Structures are given as C-alpha cells and as structure tokens.
Structure 1
Amino acid sequence: MRENKKKIVIAGHDLKFAKGIISILEKDEKFIIKTDKWRGHNVHDEAYSRECLNWADIVICEWGLGNAVWYSNHKLPHQKLIVRMHAQELKTIYPKQFRIENINKIIAISPYIYEEFYRVFKFPREKMLMIYNSIDTKVMNREKKDSDFNLGFIGMCPKLKRLDLAIDIFEKLWTLDKRYKLYIKGKHPQEYPWLWNNENEREFFENVFKRISEAEWGYSVIFDGFGNDIPEWLQKINFVLSTSDSESFHLAPGEGMASGAFPIILNWDGSNTIYPSEYIHQNVNDCVKKILEINSKNEKQDLREKIVNYTKENFDVNKIAAQLKNLLENL
C-alpha cells in the first residue's frame, strides 16, 4: 500500500454533480477521500470541517458558496484549495468573500460560465480553469424502446425551467400527430416548500397544471415522478427538451444524448458553448420543425451514434475525472 496518498476533502452542500467523479477518485490508489457534507449554503458542522481541514492535503469545494468562504479563510499554508463553481454563485455574495490568495484553482463547468465569473468577480485568469460537468455515458447508453414520439423533460422546478414552453412544443406536435407524448421526470413543485410558498412560483405551476387538466391532450402528458432511474427512463425517450430561461450546463440534454435521445434546446445563454449548434433553436416553432425533421428520417442510427459519441468525447465521467486527477497530481 502506498504511504504517500494525497488526502483530499470534498466539501459542499450538494454533491450530486460530483458523485461520479468522487467514485472514480475513491478507487484511485493515489488518493484517499473524505467528504464534508454541509447542511446548506453556509451551514455546517464547524468542528467536523476543522477535523477535515487538519487532515487534508487538498480541499475541493463543490460550489463556491459558504464552504469556499470558510475553507479559503482557514486553509493552512501547505494545503491546496480548488473551488468548482456552477452558476448559482453569480447571484450570491459568497464569491466576493473568498480569500482569493488562498485559492489555487477555480473551475467553471462551461466556457460561458467561465467568462461570466471573470466578468462579475474578476478572478485572476491564471487561477481559472474550465472543466465540463460529467456524465456516465456508459450507464446512460441503453437500447431504445419504441420511443419515436416520446418527448422527455427532466426537472420541472423552479419556474425558470419553463415547463410551459415544453408543453407548447408538445402541443404543436400532438396537434399534428396524436402519437406524441410528453413525459415529465422529477419532483412536483408542491414537494419544495420554499417554492410552493412563493406566490409567483405557485401561480405559474397552478396555471400550467390547469392548462394540462383542461386540454384534450392532457392524457398524453405523463408525470413520472422523481427517482434514481434516469438511465432506464431514457430508454423510452426520443427527444429531451431543454427550455430553461437560463442554465449553467443543464445535464438533461447531455444525459439524453448519451442515451441516444436527441436534444432540443431553446437558446439559453451559453448553450452553444456546450451542445451542438444543430440542436439549438431560437423559438418553439423551430424546435417543432427539428423534431418533425428527425422523425421524418427512416434511419436515425447514424444521427444517434453521432450524438452519443459527442457526449463520450466531451462529458464522459472518466475523461472529466482524468482532467481533475491531472490537476490534483500537479498542484
């Protein structure tokens, strides 16, 4: 057994985007991993965080929130600190509270977000790095099951995900062909007390649900609920819709592509720095045209292989983990 393993702490309130990378690091003989799971953006067991800090060679803060503020203020001289940031941080005060001189690298998860962090916070560029979010492309890539007319929408909350626009796309397709269905995967807004207690959010979703219940196509909108079965669920999906007002990365279309489902993206800022331009559209009608165009093709296998290979080349969890490992080994 190696005695010189690098001791790495991964600290943050939400580790779902780092889960696959953590699993790979844990299996690498060069590293030993501890996690410091925070209870919120700025809520943690400080005694346990200090224990982790005193143990670590390297700390990775997942999200640049209160965790990055605390670790950048308490980091010891011999230690290295990496902060991996998404987009939520742009709307918070936390990055302005970083002790930037104690941070070795700031990772942004897309080129657009990289530039936004520089524009807003003026982080030193020599400390900044872009590494995409990761997808377990092997797990996602499963045989499709009679999915041609099935649209998928993953994560309807909050309002900015724009479920209403996804329904607009579906409705136009259903009017042309009654075989189209819209499957919605994820928690209902009522399951998020903070959201349901927000008048604007609640009113938006109540209107959407009323629209569905009163429509002649309402039976073709199916709510599948939340679950850790996305790879299996995607087997019945041929198109994954991404209609958000804004995103930092949006894994849903990427996971869809890895499964062989076609991404249909309404042009949120930065989408063209992540996903292929032929699947990015300016309005609902263009999204509908693209779906009809793809479904008019008798043989889609070449198109499927192209999008699956795109995710392998750009987002595969092993490739992303290798980039992070290279950073860890050379800090």
Structure 2
Amino acid sequence: MKIAFIGHDLKFLNDAIEFFEHSPNISVKIDKWEGHEIKDEQASLEIVEWADILFCEWGLGNVVWYQKHKKPHQKLIVRMHRFEMNTIYPSQFDYHKIDKIIAISPYVYEEFHRVASIPREKMTVVYNGVQTEKFEKVKSSKAKYNIGIIGIVPKLKRLDRAIEIFEELYRRNNKYQLYIKGKHPKEFGWVWNNQAEREFYEEVFRKIENSPFKKNVHFEGWGDVTSWLKKVGYVLSVSDYESFHMAPIEGMASGAFPVVLKREGVNVVFPKDYIFETIEDAINFISENDFSTNNNLKTFVKENYSLTNMCNQIMDIFLEK
C-alpha cells in the first residue's frame, strides 16, 4: 500500500506518519504544501502517479486540487479539524471524489454537518492519538506550582484568561509560575498585522509587564514538549473554541492535570472532573488540588487517545471496500 500524506501543516500527524512508515507492506511519501493553495504542481502530479491512498491533512486547497486529479483506483481521505469551517474550501468539495472525511471529535463531526452540510455518510470520527511513551518522564518536584499553556495564537486562545487565572493563583501563593510554550504572536504576520489581534496581545503584555508577578511568567519558544512538560503540573485550555485541543491531552499523558474552561465540545473529549464553568472554579481547583492523585490521567489517555488505536482506525478506513 502506497500512502501519500498531503498538507501544509502536518504537526498533528507526524507520529501517525512515523507509525505507517514503520508498518510492514506500506510505503509512505509526503507532499508538503507551502500554504493552502498549490505551489509545486509537478511534485503533486508525481504523487498522483505513485499513490494508492491520498490522505489530505486539513480540508483545504489540497483536497480541491487532488479531487480533480485523483485516479479512479485511488482513495481520497480527508482529515478535518475545525479551522477549515471558516474557509472557502469545504463548499468546493466533490463528494463523488472524496471517499471518507475524518473528523477528529464528535463536535467537529456535527459542526461540519451543520455548518458546511457535509453528508454524514461521508464522515467518521477518529480521535487524535498520542504516543504516550514519549511523555513517560519523571515530574519535577516543583510541578505542583507550575502552570503551562501551549500555543497562544490567535487571540481566541485567550491568553488574557490564562493571565487572569495565574494572577489570582500568585496572589494566593507566590510560588506559582506560568510557563507559556509556543511562538510569539509577532512571528505570525497575519496576526501581528491585524489591528484587533495586535491590540489584544499588547494589552496583555502591558498587564504582565506592570504586574508584581512579572518574574513568574516565562515565555518559552517552540520545541520539545515532552521534556518541557516534566516541570508542568497543570495545562490550561481556556480558548473560546477548539476542535479537540491536543495540548492538555499531552499534558495528561505526562501526568499533568488539564484545566479546561467549559465550551462547546469539551464534554466528549475531557473527563468532567477537569471541565470548569468559571475561571474562579478553575483557580480553586488548582489551589486546592492534591497533586499526588494524578495517576489516572495517564491511564485515561492510553485508553482513549492512544496513537496505535488512532492508526488502526485509519488503516481500517484505508482497507474499506
């Protein structure tokens, strides 16, 4: 079986790609796009001549191009997140050419049916998978006081809420530290050149700069999350919306507690004990939690979001008649 993985951003699929690369009787190639529209058509045409399975990560221009060029014997599989819903691309899908659309959560499944009118019979749900072994590292003794947030761009990630939570925790106990993992918004032109986005971040940064907790807030760039999580005891998920939100799931795999503010779709992803109605509820949980009782977190991820389970489900889709 020859599988081509196609898309502009494969970060949520890298472990799965590696899984298939090491599977018997499977060959893998990557068609890495520079953006949402095709730039190197010759490279993609060579993939069309080679592949049995065309797997588009994100349902964007890659789907629109490949549905036009796929051969009758080839399967075209599309994995959708949520970002695509606000783009022009789902309205251009040809469901006679697309064999299956994978939604990464039941929430995404329902939203794409409701908003983009994607036929239910074309969709299935396969949750994101985590290579849990990579996160099996000993926690720092200070982890109970260390709060983490992974990815703060765009503003819908709600860095302001993370700071509000941390401000009160610091007021209660100045041992608390906030570690912010990911790229600075300045590194995203489409964010920093947007007045509303830029003003949002500048206001949050001013608040940090003028605060008594300034030295306890640490901005750390992108890099190895598995090592970074060794020092983190709580991973925040405070966005306006998420399709799944891998960061707190990876945190759970490391033994960190997820702290998730209630929003649409979270109840089918996270255990209810870690979903909070208000910021105050989240603060109280962190400050009052017995950090030693976190053994079930890793088990939950292994049972519900293992990489092997995800890849086996995807393989079943490849093999469907």
Cα distance in 2, alignment partners of residues 121 and 187 from structure 1: 31
Cα distance in 1, alignment partners of residues 83 and 278 from structure 2: 25
Q: Which residue of 1 aligns with 2:203?
A: 207
1:231 and 2:231 matched:
no
Cα distance in 2, alignment partners of residues 328 and 293 from structure 1: 47
1:309 and 2:295 matched:
no
Deviation at 1:235, TM superposition (A): 0.5
1:98 and 2:88 matched:
no
Question: 2:2·2:53 contact (CA, 8 Å) conserved in 1?
Answer: yes
User: Which of 181, 186, 192 is the equivalent residue of 2:177?
Assistant: 181
Cα distance in 2, alignment partners of residues 96 and 47 from structure 1: 26
1:149 and 2:139 matched:
no
Q: Which residue of 2 aligns with 1:221?
A: 217
Map 1:237-316; keep pairs closer than 5 Å. 237-294=232-289, 297=290, 300=292, 303-316=293-306
Q: Which residue of 2 aligns with 1:195?
A: 191
| AA at the equivalent of 1:284 | I
Cα distance in 2, alignment partners of residues 44 and 193 from structure 1: 20
1:159 and 2:149 matched:
no
Deviation at 1:28, TM superposition (A): 0.9
Deviation at 1:323, TM superposition (A): 1.2
Structure 1 segments (4+ residues) deviating >4 Å: none
Cα distance in 1, alignment partners of residues 269 and 247 from structure 2: 12
Q: Which whole-Å deviations, capped at 9, do the CAs of 1:165-209 have from their partners, x for residues lacking one? A: 001111111111111111111111111122111111111111111
TM-score, normalised by the number of residues in structure 1: 0.94
SS in structure 2 opposite 1:60?
Answer: strand
Q: Which residue of 2 aligns with 1:3?
A: none
TM-score, normalised by the number of residues in structure 2: 0.97
Deviation at 1:43, TM superposition (A): 2.7
Question: 2:75·2:318 contact (CA, 8 Å) conserved in 1?
Answer: no
Cα distance in 1, alignment partners of residues 209 and 25 from structure 2: 55
| AA at the equivalent of 1:328 | F
1:322 and 2:317 matched:
no
| AA at the equivalent of 2:118 | F
1:22 and 2:17 matched:
yes
Q: Which residue of 1 aligns with 2:42?
A: 47
Q: Which whole-Å deviations, capped at 9, do the CAs of 1:71-103 have from their partners, x for residues lacking one? A: 112211111110001001110110110111111
Question: 2:241·2:263 contact (CA, 8 Å) conserved in 1?
Answer: yes
Cα distance in 1, alignment partners of residues 93 and 171 from structure 2: 53
Q: Which whole-Å deviations, capped at 9, do the CAs of 1:123-143 have from their partners, x for residues lacking one? A: 222221100112121101211
Structure 2: state its 5+ residue gaps: none
Deviation at 1:321, TM superposition (A): 1.1
Q: Which whole-Å deviations, capped at 9, do the CAs of 1:234-282 have from their partners, x for residues lacking one? A: 0000000011011111111101000000000111211111111110111
Structure 1: state its 5+ residue gaps: 1-5
1:109 and 2:104 matched:
yes
Cα distance in 1, alignment partners of residues 177 and 11 from structure 2: 29
| AA at the equivalent of 2:46 | E
Quote the sequence identity (%).
49
